[in-house]
Amino acid sequence: MPEGSASLQLAVGDRVVYPNQGVCRVSAIDVKEVAGQKLTFVTMRREEDGAVVMVPQGKVVSIGVRKVATAEDVERIFEFLRSDSDKADLDWKQRARTNLDRMTQGGILGMAEVVKGLQVLSELRPLPTKERELYDNARHLLVMEVAAALGTAEVNAEDAIDIVLFPPGRERPKRTAAEFQRDEDELGLDGDLMGLDGDLDLPPDEEAPAESSEEEAPEEGEEAEAEEGEEAAPKKRGRPPKAKAEAPAGGEAPAPKKRGRPPKPKPEATAAAGGEPPAPKKRGRPPKPKPPEAEGAAPAAPKKRGRPPKAKPPESE
């Protein structure tokens, strides 16, 4: 018996679940010669569309193939979905990694966790496209497995799941980001320490456009930061400013420390003299210094683009 297949005995006709593919039926187990080696292959046919996949018997367990869930498992899934959970990972990278693991190795409970987690998250804000696709995929696989486990039609399986997720006669609650932070607060973690600060950490391409107007200012460059420094600093993401050890007693509270490069100190002379503020610095490459020209001289002809004209040969008469 090859290593790794000890815990999963398959026979022709068994129904199994291939991770991320769905419910398959074992159609053959035979020995084939591949590159001079004799290997036992398990041939599985996906029930949904008849797609065939052959897996070496030694790899069956390691890729996550498992038997179809039982009715008791499905009952546990309903219990899990019924539980009022507001746990959702607000860090999209962490969420994506966790969901990927759940989909490949989590079994039917993993798929239910993905569906529940994304559904809870959608009560806070609409899901981004990738997560909406993941939700649809996870829901499809869950529905197919529940239908196979209960021996019922797919629509009935889906309705059975959704009666739990969307109880009849009740609307889904609207959630706020603060609700999602509650668990972290209970654990004694500061929300700011987690880099959340009441806002979602979204993939860079899926930032909510409404938020961008306020948050674009710090990214515009040093000038913008310097100008903003005197105004009330907007709420920032990331770590909170560290408390200074030697705070002046009775003095003004120090401005919160900003991320990135500190603003350049303003020239004191201008500020002290109360003169006109300097013109805002232009972005981009500074203009080239003009060559010293003699006053009154005619301006140089504009430089022509392209190849310079060939030097004409001296005409001889």
Partner 1 sequence: MIRVVTLDSFDDKQLAKLNRTLYTAFGVGSEHSGTADVPAGLSEPLDAEKLVDQVKGIRSYQDDKVLLLTLRKLKERELPSGMAPTQGFARFGKDRAVLSVHPHKDLEAGYKAIARHALHQLGHLWELHHCLDPRCSMYPPWTPSFAQGEPIFCTFCREKSEQKIRLAKS
Residues that bind partner 1 (CB under 8 A): 71, 74-75, 78, 82, 118-119, 122, 126-127, 129, 132-133, 135-136, 139-140, 143, 150, 152-156, 158-164, 166, 168-172
User: Closest distance between partner 1 and the C-beta of residue 91, in Å?
Assistant: 21
User: Closest distance between partner 1 and the C-beta of residue 132, in Å?
Assistant: 5
User: Closest distance between partner 1 and the C-beta of residue 261, in Å?
Assistant: 41
Give the tokens for residue 313.
């040969």
Q: Looking at beta carbons only, is 12 or 71 nearer to partner 1?
A: 71
Q: Looking at beta carbons only, is 119 or 181 nearer to partner 1?
A: 119
Give the tokens for residue 234.
């907007």
Cα–Cα distance between 78 and 149 in angstroms, integer? 13
Q: Looking at beta carbons only, is 124 or 226 nearer to partner 1?
A: 124
Burial of 117 (0-12, 13-18, 19+ CB in 10 A): buried
User: Closest distance between partner 1 and the C-beta of residue 71, in Å?
Assistant: 8
Strand, helix or coil at 128?
A: coil
Q: Looking at beta carbons only, is 80 or 96 nearer to partner 1?
A: 80
User: Closest distance between partner 1 and the C-beta of residue 124, in Å?
Assistant: 11
Cα–Cα distance between 101 and 223 in angstroms, integer? 44
User: Closest distance between partner 1 and the C-beta of residue 153, in Å?
Assistant: 6
Strand, helix or coil at 25?
A: strand
Q: Looking at beta carbons only, is 113 or 225 nearer to partner 1?
A: 113
Give the tokens for residue 63.
């890729």
Give 225's Cβ-side CA count (13 Å radius).
Answer: 17
Amino acid at residue number 204: P
Cα–Cα distance between 151 and 145 in angstroms, integer? 10
Q: Looking at beta carbons only, is 60 or 108 nearer to partner 1?
A: 108
Q: Which residues are registered as beta bridge partners of 42? A: 29, 55
Pair 9, 1: CB distance under 8 Å: no
User: Closest distance between partner 1 and the C-beta of residue 19, in Å?
Assistant: 19
Q: Looking at beta carbons only, is 102 or 116 nearer to partner 1?
A: 116
User: Closest distance between partner 1 and the C-beta of residue 50, in Å?
Assistant: 13
Pair 24, 53: CB distance under 8 Å: yes
Q: Looking at beta carbons only, is 28 or 155 nearer to partner 1?
A: 155
CB atoms near residue 21 (< 10 Å): 15
Cα–Cα distance between 139 and 108 in angstroms, integer? 11
Q: Looking at beta carbons only, is 133 or 222 nearer to partner 1?
A: 133
Cα–Cα distance between 64 and 75 in angstroms, integer? 22
User: Closest distance between partner 1 and the C-beta of residue 162, in Å?
Assistant: 5
Pair 239, 192: CB distance under 8 Å: yes
- Could you tell me the sign of the dihedral formed by the alpha carbons of 265, 269, 273, 278, in that order? negative
